[in-house]
Structure 1
Amino acid sequence: MKCVISVLGKDRSGVVAAIATVLADCGANIDDISQTILGEGRMFSMTMMVSLDVATADFNTVQERLTATGESLGMQVLIQREDVFQAMYQI
């Protein structure tokens, strides 16, 4: 299952490692990643396209683990199934 993950919050060390560790533990693969630091406030933004191995961890499990990790980092972490993401932005 393909998913889009968005991460947003104040820049700090270890964000990419923490998110990547959760994904690896869940058997997911990072297919593409983009990240940037925005403005003087040092706002961190990252978007990832990932492939979930639902036999290892289903969508809800991955979502719960990413949410918990985001909370521990003080960051917002959202995951959406690619088909839902695409449908939301079609005209």
Structure 2
Amino acid sequence: MSTSNRIIVTVTGQDRVGIIAAVSTILAEANANILDISQTTLQEFFAMIMMVDLSQASVPLEEIKRRLKAKGEEMGLRVDAQHEDVFKYMHRI
């Protein structure tokens, strides 16, 4: 069983102003710490992946996922969050 408190947040969709700010605000409000972030824009498409530490989070993972998904829907984006162990398992070669 893992003792990791890290999650992977992925964001994809049409590029627009404020994506990083919106996602990072939700995480900051939950006292979640962004450990690493990578983002790129391919023509008009935006893609971002973040590693986030929830060890000091004031909100449970399921609520963070709900808030991120709702913000994504509001902005026309797909926003997913999964525990890093699930992400590793799903993306193993």
Q: 2:10 matched to which residue of 1?
A: 6
Q: Percent identity?
A: 45
**Mapped partners of 1:80, 1:55: distance in 2:** 15
Structure 1: 5+ residue stretches without partners: none
TM-score of the pair, normalised by structure 1: 0.92
Distance in 2 (CA, whole Å) between partners of 1:3 and 1:61 is 13
Give the secondary-structure state (helix, strand or coil) at the position aligned to 2:41.
Answer: strand
Amino acid paired to 2:26? V
Structure 2: 5+ residue runs without aligned partners? none
Separation (CA, whole Å) in 1 of partners of 2:75 and 2:57: 28
How does 1:16-27 map onto structure 2 within 5 Å? 16-27=20-31
Q: How far apart, in 2, do the equivalents of 1:51 and 1:62 lie? A: 12
Task: Give how far 1:86 is off.
Answer: 1.0
Matched pairs, number: 89
How does the TM-score come out when normalised to structure 2? Answer: 0.90
Superposed CA RMSD in Å reads 1.2
Structure 1 residue 52 displacement after superposition: 1.2
